[in-house]
């Protein structure tokens, strides 16, 4: 006699098949990017496999070198920021919020972004001016969730000035150690759109708590270049999750996990939603769980300057995945 599945057990196994299918799709969409990373730098693979485990991370942190002495540094555009206080806050909670870009700087970067064509959904085939977002959706016959500038970001002088600001290097070196080096510079839009595909949502990592594994130790500076409220896709960070990891999240290849699981493990009351005026800057250890949320009504323009401790990847420097 064979066991007949009950309605309940049938529903449970269908749910499991669906969940496994979605996990495989999430891994599959990133495989071309992972293969490109390994080809460019074989040391990326051990990092990717091990840096998610707490023992390997802790061992790696032991290699942090003393901070270098810099002679004749230019004045910072953040004259009142206190490096030591920011680093202490980062160590304790993983997040420091409260940098402010001078108006002239954030306006120059936003103007550059408005006048420069961006690439939709990370695809160089979907090129359009941000003000033409709706027409571009019609022209390409698909919803467009994000618009990236990739290497074009470096055509803007204010971006270069911000990259070179001594405060950013100072904070990165005091937090990550003397090996700290810049590994990313990105500017991108999050656009309100209807019916974004699951694949595009996955690539944009929107509405999904995840941690970053682009290097053993990382620090990211984010700056809002448009005002951000609950309707324009605010960034969310889970305080304290940069130094804890439940075993399940150390032993899986996935970096994104369901909100209920993440909030249950690291505390829903630790979730901070960051909103503010254009020019607001915050710094985070992206090993802590975080996410961008979907822009519901107004677009968000964001800039990131990231630091790590390994040789930067040319492609990852501007956040460009390999898409097929």
Instruction: Write out the residues near ligand AKG by the rule CB under 6 A.
Output: 205, 212, 235, 286, 290-292, 302, 304
Distance in Å, CB of 4 to ligand AKG, minimum? 46
Helix (H, G, I), strand (E, B) or coil at 39: helix
- Phi, psi (rounded to 5 degrees) for 206: -90, 145
Distance in Å, CB of 259 to ligand AKG, minimum? 14
CB nearer to ligand AKG: pick between 82 and 151: 151
CB nearer to ligand AKG: pick between 217 and 290: 290
d(Cα 285, Cα 306) in Å, to the nearest integer? 10
Closest CA to 319 of 61, 147, 136: 147
CB nearer to ligand AKG: pick between 166 and 188: 188
CB nearer to ligand AKG: pick between 174 and 316: 316
Cα–Cα distances in angstroms (integers) from residue 37 to residues 51, 71, 113, 202, 315, in the given order:
15, 35, 28, 19, 9
Quote the longest CA-to-CA distance of the chain. Answer: 84
Distance in Å, CB of 50 to ligand AKG, minimum? 20
Which residue's beta carbon is nearest to the bound ligand AKG?
292
Give residue for tokens 């694949």. Answer: 199
β-bridge mates for residue 283, sequence order = 96, 221
CB nearer to ligand AKG: pick between 88 and 202: 202
Cβ(157)–Cβ(289) below 8 Å: no
Distance in Å, CB of 3 to ligand AKG, minimum? 45
Distance in Å, CB of 321 to ligand AKG, minimum? 12
């Amino acid at each position: 006699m064979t066991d007949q599945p009950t309605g309940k057990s049938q529903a449970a196994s269908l749910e499991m098949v669906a969940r496994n299918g979605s996990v495989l799709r999430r891994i599959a969409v990133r495989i071309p990017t992972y293969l490109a990373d390994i080809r460019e730098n074989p040391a990326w693979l051990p990092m990717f496999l091990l840096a998610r485990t707490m023992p390997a991370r802790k061992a790696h942190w032991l290699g942090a070198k003393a901070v270098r002495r810099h002679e004749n540094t230019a004045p910072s555009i953040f004259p009142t920021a206190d490096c030591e206080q920011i680093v202490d806050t980062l160590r304790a909670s993983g997040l420091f919020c409260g940098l402010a870009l001078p108006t002239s700087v954030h306006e120059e970067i936003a103007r550059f972004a408005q006048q420069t064509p961006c690439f939709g959904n990370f695809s160089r085939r979907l090129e359009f001016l941000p003000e033409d977002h709706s027409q571009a959706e019609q022209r390409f016959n698909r919803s467009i969730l994000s618009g990236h500038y990739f290497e074009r970001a470096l055509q803007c002088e204010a971006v270069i000035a911000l990259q070179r600001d001594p405060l950013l290097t100072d904070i990165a070196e005091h937090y990550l150690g003397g090996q700290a080096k810049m590994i990313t510079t990105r500017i991108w839009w999050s656009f309100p759109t209807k019916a974004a595909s699951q694949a595009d949502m996955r690539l944009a990592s929107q509405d999904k708590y995840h941690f970053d594994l682009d290097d053993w130790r990382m620090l990211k500076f984010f700056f809002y270049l448009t005002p951000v409220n609950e309707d324009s896709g605010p960034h969310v960070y889970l305080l304290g999750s940069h130094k804890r990891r439940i075993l399940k999240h150390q032993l899986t290849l996935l970096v994104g996990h369901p909100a209920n699981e993440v909030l249950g493990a690291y505390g829903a009351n630790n979730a901070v939603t960051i909103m503010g005026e254009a020019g607001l800057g915050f710094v985070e250890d992206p090993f802590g769980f975080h996410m961008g949320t979907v822009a519901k009504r107004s677009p968000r323009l964001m800039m990131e300057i990231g630091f790590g401790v390994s040789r930067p990847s040319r492609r990852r420097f501007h956040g460009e995945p390999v898409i097929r």
